[in-house]
Each structure stands twice: as C-alpha cells, then as structure tokens.
C-alpha cells in the first residue's frame, strides 16, 4: 500500500472501502463494537470507522475526478472546490483515527461513547440534563466511565489529537481549507498566494494532489491502524512497535 503513488492510492482506497474494507474484521474490533449498545441507534465502532473512511474516499475521488476534467468544463475557482472536499475528508479520517488509535480499550470506548452521545443529542436537538435523549441509566454509565456528557468534541480537538498521536501537521491545512469553506477573507488571500491558477493539465493535477496530500497521509495511517486492531486481539508489544514505526516515518 505504501509504495502506491498518491493517484494510485486514492483509487485503491476507494476500492477497499467500497468492497467492505477487510481490516475491520476480527481482533480488538469485536470488544470495541460491544460498547455500541449504550447509545441508541449507534453503529458498531468498526461500522462507524468504515463509514468515515467511505465518505473520505468519496471526497478524495471527487477531487481527482475534477482535476482531470477539461479546463473549459471546470468551475471558475476549482481550487476552492478541492479544498472544501478535502476538508471533509480530513475530518472523517481524523475522526476515525481519533476513535481507534488509543491502545487502551477503555479510552477507545470513552471516545466512541462521547461522540455517539453528542451525535444523538445533535440529531434530536437536545442537550444533556433532563431533556437528554438517553435513558438516565445510560447517562449514569457514561458518567461513571469518565465521559463528560455536557462538553462538546470539536473537529479541531480531534484533528489536533490525531496529529499528536501520528506526528503529523494536518491541523494547519485543515484550518486553511475550513477558512475557504466558510468564506473567510484571510483564507482566500492565502489560497491566491499559495495556490496560483495552474496553466496546464499537469499543473492542475499536481495542484489537486498537493491539496489532497494531508488527507491521503491520514488515509494511509487509518488503514494501518485498523489493520493493527484486526490482527491483534489485545494490545501487544508488536502492535506498539508498529505504531511507533508509523509515527517515526513522518
């Protein structure tokens, strides 16, 4: 997988997640999936991570597809389109990594449950306390596990945590892409300076790959970590060694 070029990897990743993503079967995923019953309607951990990977893959594919479209058929500001789609991919991939990177099973459970509780609350338009969508017994269990049901988990927190774990610097680019998505003047100015309009088809594709680079790096890491969870039924020295090698490769 690592020897694939970025273009090849995007295509391979799409095929992997569309085909069911084999690394999500067995190992530690079975224990992690058991926590799903505490949050009504929540998918198993493995299913959630697979869905996040699938969404990210769709965004990456769309960026490449747009880059190969003839210039006269592209949007007038194609770089902004690239950035908005990659922003989504980064958030999905970083969330998947944030959920499954911790070696400790209880920490993975806390992250999964905290995010699941927040999602259910957002879906129903409620917050913690007496209007909570969860039964009181469920809230008590979450609280006993150390889950703060009153606080919110932001994309910034998740991406920063993934960066710390992996030794990456994705947050900086995600902030730029988010600024473009929200129409922030500073982000538009940085984009004009750092990503000038390409003058050839090759330059357009190279520019798209440059925008994609942080998301591709996260995708490679997510597949590696998911594979570790599949291969080892419990945290082991070998798993720790492979994770450390993944971090030191940055």
Residue 184 has pLDDT above 90, yes or no: yes
Q: In the chain, how many H helices and how many E strands?
A: 11, 0
Predicted local confidence at residue 204, as pLDDT: 87
Residues of 63-91 as b/e, b for ≥16 C-beta within 10 angstroms? bbebbeeeeeeeeeebbbbbbbbbbbbbb
> Is residue 126 classed as helix, strand or coil in its secondary structure?
coil
Q: What is the pLDDT of residues 151-170, one digit of tens each?
A: 788 999 999 999 998 888 99
CA distance 215 to 91: 9
- Residue 218: strand, helix, or coil: helix
What are 67-111's pLDDT values in tens digits? Answer: 888 888 888 888 999 999 999 999 999 999 999 888 888 888 888
For residue 234, give the nearest of 19, 16, 31, 48 by alpha carbon.
31
Residue 71 per-residue DSSP state = G
Cβ pair 93, 59 in contact under 8 A: no
Please count the CA atoms within 13 angstroms of the CA of 164 that sit on its side-chain side: 8
pLDDT digits (tens, 9 = 90+) for 100-113: 888 888 888 888 88
Q: Which residues contact 118 (CB under 8 A, 6 or more apart)?
A: 152, 153
- Residue 214's nearest CA partner among 100, 102, 96, 94 is 94
* Band (64; pLDDT cuts 50, 70, 90): very high
What CA–CA distance (Å, rounded) separates 163 from 171? 7
Whether 230 and 49 have beta carbons less than 8 Å apart is answered as no
């Amino acid at each position: 997988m690592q020897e694939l070029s970025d273009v090849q990897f995007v295509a391979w990743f799409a095929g992997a997640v569309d085909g069911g993503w084999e690394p999500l079967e067995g190992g530690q995923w079975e224990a992690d999936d058991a926590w799903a019953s505490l949050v009504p309607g929540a998918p198993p951990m493995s299913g959630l991570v697979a869905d996040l990977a699938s969404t990210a893959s769709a965004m990456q594919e769309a960026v490449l597809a747009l880059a190969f479209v003839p210039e006269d058929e592209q949007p007038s500001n194609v770089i902004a389109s690239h950035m908005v789609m990659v922003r989504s991919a980064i958030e999905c991939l970083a969330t998947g990594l944030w959920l499954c990177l911790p070696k400790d099973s209880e920490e993975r459970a806390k992250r999964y449950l905290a995010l699941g509780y927040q999602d259910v609350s957002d879906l129903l338009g409620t917050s913690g306390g007496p209007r909570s969508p969860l039964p009181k017994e469920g809230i008590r269990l979450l609280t006993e596990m150390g889950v703060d049901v009153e606080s919110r988990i932001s994309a910034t927190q998740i991406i920063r945590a993934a960066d710390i774990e992996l030794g990456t610097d994705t947050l900086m680019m995600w902030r730029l892409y988010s600024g473009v998505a929200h129409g922030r003047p500073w982000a538009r100015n940085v984009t004009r300076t750092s990503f000038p309009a390409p003058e050839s088809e090759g330059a357009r594709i190279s520019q798209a790959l440059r925008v994609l680079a942080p998301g591709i790096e996260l995708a490679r890491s997510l597949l590696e970590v998911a594979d570790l969870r599949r291969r080892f039924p419990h945290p082991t020295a070998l798993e720790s060694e492979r994770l450390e090698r993944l971090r030191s490769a940055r």
